[in-house]
C-alpha cells in the first residue's frame, strides 16, 4: 500500500529516488518523505501530500545529497496524515532511519517497553516503534539489529533501514509486504514494486517472508531473521517501460480502459484452438485430474476481484457444471469454512498481494483445498502460494480503479470454466462456439470504445446527481456491482449496485424524480424480467440509462438513454457490458474535477487487513 524505494551505489540518489517514487505513487499518496546519508549524517525531508509536494519542499531546502538513501509514499494506517507521521522515521540516539509498509501489530506493548527505557516518540505510528526497537538492539551491526528486532515483532512489514554508523549499508526485510531487490552494476536498489527498478536494472529478486537482505554498492547477502543464509533467485524483470507510462492518455485509468482489447488478446494468446473446441491452460496441466473431479469451487477475492469471482461462479455452474460460490476473502478467513474433499479454492487478485485474499487462500489450503490463482502480477506472493493457476497477462495496472484486470479476470475464469467443462460434460462444438465468441470480444470492446463521446455526453447529463443505482440480473448482477464501485471510488458519488429483482424488497423506496438508474439490459435469459424492473423504476420517476444489445431499438421506449453493446453469448457479456460503465465512471470523475488515478482514501494493493 505504501511505496518504498531505496538506493545504495555511487550516484547522487535524490532524483533517482524521486523518479522511482513517482512510479509507485499509486500505492499510497497521503504523505511522502526522503532520507539520505549526507556527509555522515542522516538527513530527512518529509511532508504531507503528494510526491510533487515533497519535490517543492526539497527545492525550498536546497535538496539532499548522498549516494545512499530511501524514500516513501504513505497510505496512513496508524496515526493521521501529518508530517511527523510521514516516513522515514528515525531513532536519533543510534542514528537509525527506517521506512515501512505494513502494520506492526504488537507496537503498543513494544512502545511501552521502549518508553520505559527512555525513548521519546514524536509520531503516532507503529513504524517509529520499529525504528526505536532496532536502535535499542543496535550494537554495531545493523543487519543483526534488524534481525533481532524482527524476531520481536508480529504483523506485516516491508522495511528498509540505514544507520549513520554504517555508511554504505542498507538493510531490507519482508513479511507480508512485497519487496523487490534490484541488482545493478555497482549499485543496488529496493522497491515495493518492480516498476520503480526497471529504469536502473532488469535483474531483480523478490524477498520472501522473514528474509533480510544486507546491501552495499558492490554486493548483497540474504538471510532469514534467524540469520540462516539463503540464496535468492535473481531473475529478469519483464516490465516494458511503455506499460507504466501514460503514453498520450490523460490518466492511467483511461489508458487501461482503452488498452482492454490489446490486453485481452494477450490473455487469450495461445490458450485455445477454436476449431478443435479446445482450451489450453498450461498452468493447470499438473492438476488436470483433480480439477476434472472437483466437487466444489470456492472463489475468493475482494472488491473488483470479488465481482469477477461472482461472475466466475455463474460460469463454473453453467459451463463446468460444478457447484461454486464466490466469497469475500475477509469473511471466509474468519469463518469456520467447511472444505470437503474435492474442493478447489480460486484466489482472484490483480496484485496477488491482497492480505485478506492471501489469508483466505491459506485457510482453504490448510483445510485441504487445491489452490488455484487467477492473478495478474507474476511472481507475487499469492502466485507463489498457489498450487496452480492462470495469469491474466494484462500488464501492469497503475490506475487505482481496476479496469483491465477485471475484464482479464472474467476472461480467465471463463477459460477455466470451459477447460473444466470440456473435461466433464461439454462437447467440442459447444465449446468451439463459445471460444469463437470469446475470440471476438476484443473487437467488440473496440466498437464500444468508439462510442466514448456518446458515453461522455450521457454522463454529463447526470453528473450532478448524488445518488445512482446500478441494476442487473444473472451474469450482469456482478457487473452492476462493479459499475457502482467504479463510480463511487473515483467520483465519490453514492452508488448502489444490486440485483434488479431486489429493488422491490426495499431499495425502490430510494427512487425519486430524476434519480439515475443504470440497467444492464442486454439480451439474455432474464431480459423480459429486466424490462419489468425498468418499468417499475420509471413509474417512480427514475431516469433509466440502459446498456442494451445492438439492434434492440425497442428499448428506447423504456429508457432515457441507451448505450449499445454488441450481441454476444450472455455468459461472456460482462466483458463488454462493463466497458460503458467504466467510461461513465471515468468521465464523471473528470467532470467533477477529481484526480482519477489517485482517488481519496484509496491505494492500489491492500496489503493490510
Active site residues: 2, 604
Q: Which stretch binds ligand F6R (CB under 6 A): 239-247, 303-311, 315-323, 542-550?
A: 303-311
**Site pattern 35..64 for ligand F6R (x: CB under 6 A):** ------------------------------
The footprint of ligand F6R on this chain (CB under 6 A) covers a number of residues equal to: 15
Residue 452's contacts (CB-CB under 8 Å, 6 or more residues apart) are 583
**CA 517 → CA 377, 436, 456, 547, distances in Å?**
35, 33, 16, 11
Strands (E), 138-179: 157-163, 170-175
| Residue 227 C-beta: closest distance to ligand F6R, Å | 33
Cβ pair 562, 553 in contact under 8 A? no
Q: Which is nearer to ligand F6R, 222 or 402 (CB)?
A: 402
Q: Does 143 interact with ligand F6R (rule: CB under 6 A)?
A: no
| Residue 247 C-beta: closest distance to ligand F6R, Å | 21
Instruction: Report which residue's Cβ sits closest to ligand F6R.
Output: 303
Q: Does 380 interact with ligand F6R (rule: CB under 6 A)?
A: no
The rounded Cα 153 to chain-centroid distance in angstroms is 26
Q: Does 489 interact with ligand F6R (rule: CB under 6 A)?
A: yes
| Residue 239 C-beta: closest distance to ligand F6R, Å | 17
Q: Which of residues 392-411 bind ligand F6R (CB under 6 A)?
A: 401-402
Q: Does 303 interact with ligand F6R (rule: CB under 6 A)?
A: yes
Q: Which is nearer to ligand F6R, 406 or 462 (CB)?
A: 406
Q: How much of the chain is in helix, strand and coil states, percent to nearest 5?
A: 40, 25, 35
**CA 477 → CA 296, 316, 323, 489, 530, distances in Å?**
22, 16, 19, 19, 11
12 phi, psi to nearest 5 deg: -65, 130
| Residue 595 C-beta: closest distance to ligand F6R, Å | 15
The kind and range of the H/E element at 6 are strand 3-8
Q: Which of residues 310-369 bind ligand F6R (CB under 6 A)?
A: 349-351, 354, 357
Q: Does 195 interact with ligand F6R (rule: CB under 6 A)?
A: no
Cβ pair 41, 110 in contact under 8 A? no
| Residue 385 C-beta: closest distance to ligand F6R, Å | 13
Q: Which is nearer to ligand F6R, 148 or 596 (CB)?
A: 596
Binding test (CB under 6 A) with ligand F6R, winner from 130, 500, 606, 608 = 606
Omega before 88 cis (within 30°)?
yes
Of 89, 90, 110, the C-alpha closest to 153 is 110
**CA 312 → CA 76, 129, 322, 410, 412, distances in Å?**
33, 43, 11, 7, 9
Q: How many CB atoms lie within 10 A of CB 176?
A: 21
Of 118, 359, 597, 31, the C-alpha closest to 371 is 359
Binding test (CB under 6 A) with ligand F6R, winner from 304, 381, 576, 582 = 304
**Site pattern 252..291 for ligand F6R (x: CB under 6 A):** ----------------------------------------
Q: Which is nearer to ligand F6R, 174 or 200 (CB)?
A: 174
Q: Which is nearer to ligand F6R, 58 or 378 (CB)?
A: 378
**Site pattern 63..102 for ligand F6R (x: CB under 6 A):** ----------------------------------------
Q: Which stretch binds ligand F6R (CB under 6 A): 40-48, 49-57, 173-181, 296-304?
A: 296-304
Q: Which is nearer to ligand F6R, 69 or 303 (CB)?
A: 303
Q: Which long-range contacts (CB under 8 A, 24 or more apart) does 407-410 make?
A: 407/260, 407/263, 407/264, 407/445, 407/575, 407/578, 407/579, 408/263, 408/264, 408/267, 408/376, 409/305, 409/308, 409/309, 409/312, 409/348, 409/350, 409/374, 410/308, 410/311, 410/312, 410/574, 410/575
| Residue 597 C-beta: closest distance to ligand F6R, Å | 12
Binding test (CB under 6 A) with ligand F6R, winner from 6, 244, 300, 305 = 305
The widest CA-to-CA distance across the chain, in whole angstroms, is 79
* Backbone torsion region of residue 468, taken as left when φ is above 0, otherwise alpha when ψ lies between -120 and 50, otherwise beta: beta
Q: Which stretch binds ligand F6R (CB under 6 A): 5-13, 301-309, 332-340, 564-572?
A: 301-309
Binding test (CB under 6 A) with ligand F6R, winner from 374, 605, 607, 608 = 605
* Residue 507 grid coordinates: 431499495
Give the bridge partners for 575, in sequence order: none
| Residue 329 C-beta: closest distance to ligand F6R, Å | 8
Binding residues for ligand F6R, rule: CB under 6 A, are: 302-305, 349-351, 354, 357, 401-402, 485, 489, 605-606
Amino acid at each position: 500500500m505504501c511505496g518504498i524505494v531505496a538506493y545504495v551505489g555511487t550516484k547522487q540518489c535524490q532524483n533517482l529516488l524521486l523518479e522511482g517514487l513517482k512510479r509507485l505513487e499509486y500505492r499510497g499518496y497521503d504523505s511522502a518523505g526522503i532520507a539520505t546519508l549526507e556527509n555522515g549524517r542522516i538527513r530527512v525531508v518529509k511532508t504531507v501530500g503528494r510526491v510533487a509536494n515533497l519535490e517543492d519542499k526539497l527545492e525550498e531546502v536546497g535538496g539532499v545529497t548522498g549516494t545512499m538513501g530511501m524514500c516513501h509514499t504513505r497510505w496512513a494506517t496508524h496515526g493521521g496524515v501529518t508530517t511527523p507521521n510521514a516516513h522515514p522515521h528515525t531513532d536519533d540516539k543510534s542514528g537509525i532511519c527506517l521506512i515501512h509498509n505494513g502494520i506492526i501489530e504488537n507496537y503498543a506493548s513494544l512502545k511501552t517497553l521502549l518508553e520505559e527505557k527512555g525513548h521519546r516518540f514524536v509520531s503516532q505510528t507503529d513504524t517509529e516503534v520499529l525504528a526505536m526497537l532496532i536502535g535499542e538492539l543496535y550494537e554495531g551491526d545493523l543487519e543483526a539489529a534488524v534481525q533481532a528486532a524482527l524476531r520481536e515483532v508480529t504483523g506485516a512489514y516491508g522495511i528498509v533501514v540505514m544507520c549513520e554508523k554504517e555508511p554504505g549499508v542498507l538493510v531490507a526485510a519482508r513479511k507480508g509486504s512485497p519487496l523487490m531487490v534490484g541488482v545493478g552494476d555497482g549499485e543496488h536498489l529496493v522497491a515495493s514494486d518492480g516498476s520503480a527498478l526497471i529504469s536502473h536494472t532488469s535483474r531483480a529478486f523478490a524477498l520472501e517472508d522473514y528474509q533480510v537482505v544486507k546491501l552495499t554498492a558492490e554486493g548483497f547477502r540474504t538471510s532469514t531473521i534467524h540469520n540462516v543464509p539463503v540464496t535468492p533467485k535473481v531473475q529478469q524483470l519483464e516490465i516494458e517501460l511503455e506499460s507504466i507510462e501514460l503514453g498520450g492518455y490523460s490518466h492511467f485509468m483511461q489508458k487501461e480502459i482503452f488498452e482492454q482489447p490489446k490486453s485481452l488478446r494477450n490473455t487469450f494468446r495461445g490458450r485455445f484452438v477454436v476449431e478443435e473446441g479446445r482450451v489450453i491452460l498450461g498452468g493447470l496441466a499438473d492438476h488436470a485430474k483433480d480439477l476434472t473431479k472437483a466437487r466444489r469451487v470456492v472463489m475468493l477475492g475482494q472488491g473488483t476481484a470479488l465481482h469477477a469471482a461472482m461472475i466466475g461462479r455463474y460460469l463454473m455452474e453453467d459451463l463446468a457444471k460444478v457447484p461454486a460460490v464466490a466469497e469475500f476473502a475477509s469473511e471466509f478467513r474468519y469463518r469456520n469454512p467447511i472444505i470437503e474433499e474435492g474442493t478447489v479454492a480460486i484466489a482472484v487478485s490483480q496484485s496477488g498481494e491482497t492480505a485478506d485474499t492471501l489469508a483466505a487462500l491459506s485457510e482453504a489450503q490448510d483445510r485441504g483445498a487445491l489452490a488455484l490463482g487467477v492473478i495478474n502480477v507474476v511472481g507475487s506472493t499469492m502466485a507463489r502460494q498457489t498450487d496452480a493457476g492462470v495469469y491474466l497477462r494484462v500488464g501492469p495496472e497503475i490506475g487505482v480503479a481496476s479496469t483491465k484486470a477485471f475484464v482479464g479476470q472474467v476472461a480467465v475464469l471463463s477459460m477455466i470454466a470451459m477447460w473444466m467443462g470440456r473435461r466433464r460434460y461439454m462437447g467440442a462444438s459447444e465449446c468451439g462456439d463459445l471460444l469463437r465468441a470469446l475470440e471476438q470480444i476484443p473487437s467488440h470492446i473496440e466498437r464500444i470504445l468508439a462510442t466514448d463521446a456518446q458515453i461522455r455526453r450521457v454522463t454529463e447529463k447526470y453528473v450532478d446527481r448524488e445518488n445512482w443505482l446500478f441494476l442487473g440480473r444473472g451474469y450482469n448482477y456482478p457487473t452492476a456491482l462493479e459499475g457502482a464501485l467504479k463510480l463511487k471510488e473515483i467520483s465519490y458519488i453514492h452508488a448502489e449496485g444490486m440485483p434488479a429483482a431486489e429493488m422491490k424488497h426495499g431499495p425502490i423506496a430510494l427512487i425519486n424524480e430524476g434519480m439515475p438508474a443504470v440497467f444492464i439490459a442486454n439480451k439474455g435469459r432474464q431480459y423480459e424480467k429486466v424490462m419489468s424492473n425498468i418499468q417499475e423504476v420509471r413509474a417512480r420517476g427514475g431516469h433509466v440509462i440502459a446498456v442494451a444489445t445492438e439492434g434492440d431499438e425497442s428499448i428506447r421506449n423504456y429508457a432515457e438513454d441507451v448505450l449499445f453493446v454488441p450481441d454476444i453469448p450472455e455468459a461472456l457479456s460482462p466483458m463488454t457490458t462493463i466497458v460503458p460503465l467504466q467510461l461513465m465512471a471515468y468521465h464523471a470523475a473528470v467532470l467533477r474535477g477529481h484526480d482519477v488515478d489517485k482517488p481519496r482514501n484509496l491505494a492500489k494493493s491492500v496489503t493490510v487487513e
